[in-house]
Structure 1
Amino acid sequence: MISRDLTFIVGGARSGKSAYAERLAAGSGLPVTYIATAAVPAGAHADAEFATRIGHHRARRPGHWGLVEAPLDLAEALDAAAQPDHCVLIDCLTLWLANLLCPPDSESPRPDWRARLDAFAAACERARGIVLVVSNEIGMGVVPMGAATRLYVDELGRLNQRIAALADRATLVAAGLPLVLKAPHQASRS
């Protein structure tokens, strides 16, 4: 029986972080549940390029993996999927936070966004089995000029730090190459 084994995987856009996480999930030898956080716009708001990106992820995933779409209720999805002798791959926190802070039907963040972040961190702490969490590192550039963009960049940075601190392992992926930031023996030093 596996107690919680949380790995945080971070990198830039098209860095190879999702493919790396998928290799870890496949290599676990356990049943896998993939939790997708993207909210696919429909109708007039449809984005063909974004739909193509999602299609690329779908095509790369093995057909026998379970799939849960959780654009908002990530804590609940993790609670339901995380169990001993199981692997959960969450891809990704970046899109999930965008769904909370930039809902398509509002100019303002969802009023419960902070509570949802807290609920997700708590779900990560109580999760059992292997949990792989993917996110983007977007804070390595200049400070954004717009208030909404600054809020998003700041909150993603805080969320990434929070989940990395909870994680047993953290890996930065750049140019398809994983760089270990935190290993199990380092976990207690965080």
Structure 2
Amino acid sequence: MADHHLILGGTRSGKSGYAERCGLADDNARRHVYIATGQAHDAAMAARIARHRADRDARWHTVEAPLGLAQVLEAENKPGTVILVDCLTLWLSNALAADCWASERDALLAALPACQARVLMVSNEVGSGIVPLGELSRSFADEAGRLHQALATRCARVDLVVAGLPLNLKPSQR
């Protein structure tokens, strides 16, 4: 199993900052790639993206990828590289809106095991609340939960971040 790391947490839980610190602390990394999946469809999201960019350490080379995540992973897949994907739930939203979720998910799950780079994936844990009323919201929560389960089996480490504190759910075997 490759040394991939899934980092889950709620909104503003500190998961992105934790993921960035984990990636930069990797002594074997010669290259750091930040795959950003968000899109600025409104002013609030544009401000959030700008804040993330401003706070990001300059060692991260950023690639914007609202879709085509597996293809970007394959292109950036080089030994000695740490790839941080932030965030999977935004990517899921993009793929649901573009009606290409199944192919995007399948491509990611197929590409990940072959990835020699260390991959850290950040995602919102949305399954701790009530079942959403709307069909699209239920579909989103269901697909996020299924994705997290599939990735957890493929990752060496899984953490849940709450109030800025990481809770290890699956310790790394390396």
The TM-score by the shorter chain falls in which range? over 0.9
Task: State the alpha-carbon separation in 1 of the partners of residues 69 and 75 from structure 2.
Answer: 10
Residue in structure 1 matched with residue 2 of structure 2 by the alignment? 4
Residue in structure 2 matched with residue 28 of structure 1 by the alignment? 26
Task: State the alpha-carbon separation in 1 of the partners of residues 53 and 114 from structure 2.
Answer: 28
> Counterparts in 2 of 1:85-164, with a 5 A limit?
85-103=80-98, 110=99, 112-164=100-152
Q: How far has the Cα of 1:129 moved from its partner?
A: 2.2
Task: State the alpha-carbon separation in 2 of the partners of residues 127 and 60 from structure 1.
Answer: 27
Residue in structure 1 matched with residue 50 of structure 2 by the alignment? 55
Query: Does the residue aligned with 1:132 lie in a helix, a strand or coil?
Result: strand
Q: How far has the Cα of 1:82 moved from its partner?
A: 2.1
Instruction: Answer yes or no: is the 8 Å Cα contact 1:90–1:134 preserved in 2.
Output: yes
Task: State the alpha-carbon separation in 2 of the partners of residues 83 and 40 from structure 1.
Answer: 29
Q: Deviations over 1:56-77 (max 9, x none)?
A: 1101112232111110100001
Give the alignment partner of residue 167 of structure 2, picking from 172, 176, 179. Answer: 179
Give the alignment partner of residue 154 of structure 2, picking from 166, 169, 173. Answer: 166
Query: Does the residue aligned with 2:18 lie in a helix, a strand or coil?
Result: helix
Task: State the alpha-carbon separation in 2 of the partners of residues 69 and 91 from structure 1.
Answer: 10
What letter corresponds to residue 34 of structure 2 in structure 1?
Y
Give the alignment partner of residue 72 of structure 1, picking from 67, 71, 88. Answer: 67
Task: State the alpha-carbon separation in 2 of the partners of residues 96 and 170 from structure 1.
Answer: 19
Instruction: Report how many residues are paired.
Output: 172
Residue in structure 1 matched with residue 14 of structure 2 by the alignment? 16
Q: How far has the Cα of 1:168 moved from its partner?
A: 0.3
Unmatched tracts of structure 1, length 5 or more: 42-46, 104-109
**4-13 or 63-72, larger mean C-alpha shift:** 63-72
Query: Does the residue aligned with 2:4 lie in a helix, a strand or coil?
Result: strand
What letter corresponds to residue 86 of structure 1 in structure 2?
T
Q: CA RMSD in A?
A: 1.5
Instruction: Answer yes or no: is the 8 Å Cα contact 1:138–1:153 preserved in 2.
Output: yes
The share of aligned pairs that are identical, in percent, is 47
Task: State the alpha-carbon separation in 2 of the partners of residues 136 and 66 from structure 1.
Answer: 23
TM-score scaled to structure 2, two decimals? 0.94
Instruction: Answer yes or no: is the 8 Å Cα contact 2:39–2:45 preserved in 1.
Output: no
Q: Which runs of 4+ in 1 moved over 6 A?
A: none
Unmatched tracts of structure 2, length 5 or more: none
Specify the structure having the higher radius of gyration (Cα): 1
